[in-house]
Structure 1
Amino acid sequence: MKLGITGIFGSGKTEVANMFARCGYKVVSVDKVGHKLLDKKEIKKKIIREFGDVLTKNKVDRRKLKDIVFYDSKKLKKLNKIIHPYLIKEVKKLIKGKAVVDAALLIELGLHKHLDKVIVVKINKNNAVKRILKKKKYTKKEIENIIKSQLTQNKKLRYADFIINNNKSLDNTKKQVIDINKSL
């Protein structure tokens, strides 16, 4: 069984994916795969050609890159055009057996077509923003820009085989995961 977990930025996708891991699923984090791809020589070259020197110690500095692309939707589209083909290819290789794909851009990347079921983690946008701000990694403006760059929650819900409401307690979310896992 291959599952996809998606939702808006800050919805709790990764937490839900980790709950499925405790049910025996291998987690494929599209974010982690993307971060590793930034070290590939050919991708690094394309990024430098497009965005200038964004290296620190010969590695793509994700903070520098984020500062460029999350304030300019055209630049974000250019970055996605560079990385997404590699990302799709790599993730498709990793989704074997009992796996769960954790991806904000699951639908946008077309990865849902390679999975058995799609789970959308639903959350009130204000709750998502509060959750992300607590981590102190992003400004409110960056969060809004990231959310704007993704499919809306309502559009993601159209692809859902299952919906997890993540506006309540962690225990409530765990119960929903257990119920979904039992139904598969």
Structure 2
Amino acid sequence: MENVENKDIGVKDTSFINDIRSIAIIGASKKRDYFFLRNHQYAFKGNLYAVHPNAEEIPNFPEDKIYSSILEIPEAIDFAFIAIPAKKVLEVMDECVEKGVKLVTVFTSEFSDAGTEEGAELEKELVRRAKNKVRILGPNGLGLFYPKFGIAWRTGFPSVAGNIGFIAQSGGICNIAIYSSIELGLNFSK
């Protein structure tokens, strides 16, 4: 098991995003056609892993790429996508810090987006546990669209990279921008 020394990455350094070689999908389900796993299974140009505490097999996914914890994966993980119940996200964030994961998308909702004091406190604790070692997209976030590496949260997004970089807080705005770019013949780099 390879754990990298996880130094304080500093909030301004995002250069690692240009070299994502491994993704762990935490919460991948064997009970349904899990969209984020399937979107990347054939398009992502690196190593893709499924993480679920009880899954030993996922239909049409290699058994040697399924683990019960991110800590069991034998290589460094650049990007983790977390889709599990909110109360379990904190424990998984601790594991991501220990593993040396550089970037995490927390797809899970019920943090400050829920408009509750409990959700806001949960989000503060999530950020505290990241310890300035793991970048967080979300909570309640869709993550990255990076055609060069085959990273997208939806099927049908362009696979050809362009010269336009785009960052938005809203997944809805990102979807509109990407679909509009298709109609205009433009391609995003990320």
> Same-fold call, TM > 0.5?
no
TM-score, normalised to structure 2's length? 0.30
TM-score, normalised to structure 1's length? 0.31
